[in-house]
Structure 1
Amino acid sequence: MGEFLHTIDNKGRLIIPAKFRDLLGNKSFITKGMEDCLFLYPENGWLDFVEKLKQLPVSQTRAREFTRLFFSSAAECEFDKQGRILVPANLRERAFLEKDVVVVGVMDRIEVWDSLKWREYSTNAAQNYEDDAESLAAMGLMI
């Protein structure tokens, strides 16, 4: 949980907050996320999600498209001594990451956003917060 403002250096390295490093452990995986962010998973969360994706029927076009994009952009991450990961150039480009980023904790994953895109997204999402809560209640999740 939480959000932290950080920067990506000119080599593509990003400091992950200590709180999140503890969650991620020694090995993690980064890939294309939704709404132009990146998803960063701890190894066990990654393996769980991979198992779910294996259940998708390969005969369905949307399932093939999703899994191809998800896995083709994925990379394994390890922390250096300063608590940084290397964000591959292709992922930095997909998420429009240049320098200032926001690292956000979301349940079983971490998201990495361009700081301006995060501000825009979170401002818009905040306007729908009550409506979203009402929709979740209709699905059986009471807040």
Structure 2
Amino acid sequence: MSSVRFVGEYRPKLDDKGRLTLPARFRDDLAGGLVVTKGQDHSLSVYRTEEFDAIAARIVEASRSNPDLRAFQRTFFAGSEEQRPDGQGRIVLSAAHRTYAGLSKECVVFGAYDHVEIWDSAAWDEYQARHEEDFSAANSAALNAVL
């Protein structure tokens, strides 16, 4: 398991060229290369190249005998793009990724421990409001399950 962990929430703006400035706290860990993928709930997921390669190896191995996983594999890899942040810590989000995630100028970038997620700000705020009670109710159950 990687010693890199991503935590915290940030609200950068997407510029007119589709560029997003990564939070300063994430830049060093992503400077060597990253992969942007379609994530859950119409978000984007950002993985360090090494983490993506480890996940990819598990997906490929598991999908050899499972038709559902093969379908997931095709969608997952087709919707993935390799990137290297520029000198200002920016990445370019493709039109396809921006459309998939419904991104406007206002974005939310947050750490999800082993990866980073990118959401449209309004969609993230709505998601948070919708799931706050679930989070509170599940908090003790989830902690008991892992502790």
The alignment's TM-score, normalised by the length of structure 2, stands at 0.89
The residue number in structure 2 matching 1:50 is 56
Question: Does 1:74 find its partner at 2:80?
Answer: yes
**What amino acid is aligned across from residue 91 of structure 2 in structure 1?**
I
Runs of 5+ consecutive residues of structure 2 not aligned to the other structure: 1-6
Instruction: Say which of 34, 46, 49 aligns to 1:28.
Output: 34
Aligned alpha-carbon RMSD (Å): 1.4
Q: Aligned residue for 1:13? A: 19
1:141 equivalent to 2:141? Answer no
Report the TM-score, using the length of structure 1 for normalisation.
0.91
Q: Which residue of 2 is the match for residue 128 of structure 1?
A: 134
2:108 maps to amino acid: V
Give 1:134 shift. Answer: 4.1
Residue 133 of structure 1 deviates from its aligned partner by 2.6
Unaligned regions of 5+ residues in structure 1, if any? none
Judge which range, 109-118 or 51-60, deviates more.
Answer: 51-60
C-alpha displacement of 1:115: 0.2
Cα distance in 2 for partners of 1:61, 1:135 equals 33
Higher relative helix content: 2
Q: What is the rounded CA distance, in whole Å, between the counterparts of 1:23 and 1:132 in structure 2?
A: 31
Higher mean C-alpha deviation, range 69-78 or range 17-26? 17-26
The structure whose residues are more often strand, as a share, is 1
Q: Deviations over 1:107-134 (max 9, x none)?
A: 1100000000000111222211133234
Q: 5 Å matches for 1:81-120?
A: 81-120=87-126
1:22 Cα offset (Å) = 1.7
1:109 maps to amino acid: H
Identity %: 33
Equivalent residue pairs, number: 141
Q: What amino acid maps onto 2:18 in structure 1?
A: G
Asked if residue 3 in structure 1 is aligned to residue 9 in structure 2, the reply is: yes
Aligned structure 1 segments of 4 or more residues deviating by more than 3 angstroms: none
Contact 2:60–2:73 (8 Å) recurs in 1 = no
